[in-house]
Amino acid sequence: CDETYNYWEAAYLVSGGKNGFQTWEYAPMYALRSWSFVLPYGLFAKAMGMIGTRAFALCLPSAFAEAALVTACTKKFDAFWTTLVLLVSSPGLFISSASLLPSSVALTLACAQHASWLQGNWRISIWFAVLAVLWPGW
């Protein structure tokens, strides 16, 4: 809970929010977290607002990645069992996709990576895998 809101607070601060404050994890004295993960979301929030950031920068890419994964799995495996397995696991994907967390971004990129791999797009698959490791700041 605290971790989720600390990422939103930093994004709000970057977007130029009047009441935003710097949490202690980002303070130069401690520097526990990198601004590289929050900066793109803060800049997006400056243009679209915080709700727009959640909808267009977090939920929409996750929905496209999950749809690509379902499509790739149904083409590669039996459509009935694939749909059943993915529907059973989809509530967790739905809940985590709207969170501004490095693990949620890695989840979305992993879905896109697996979809690309199942479709035989090896270069795109490797690109998503590298991006999933490097961008969230791990």
pLDDT band at 135 (very low <50, low <70, confident <90, very high): confident
For residues 13-26, one letter each, b for 16 or more C-beta atoms within 10 angstroms of the residue's C-beta and e for the rest, the string is: bbbeeeebeebeeb
Q: What is the mean pLDDT of residues 60-89?
A: 86
pLDDT band at 84 (very low <50, low <70, confident <90, very high): confident
Tens digit of each residue's pLDDT (9 = 90 or more) over 35-74:
888 889 999 898 988 888 888 988 899 989 988 998 998 8
Task: Tell me how long the chain is.
Answer: 138
The residue among 46, 63, 45, 52 whose CA lies nearest residue 104 is 63
The residue among 34, 72, 38, 32 whose CA lies nearest residue 58 is 38
Give the global pTM.
Answer: 0.85
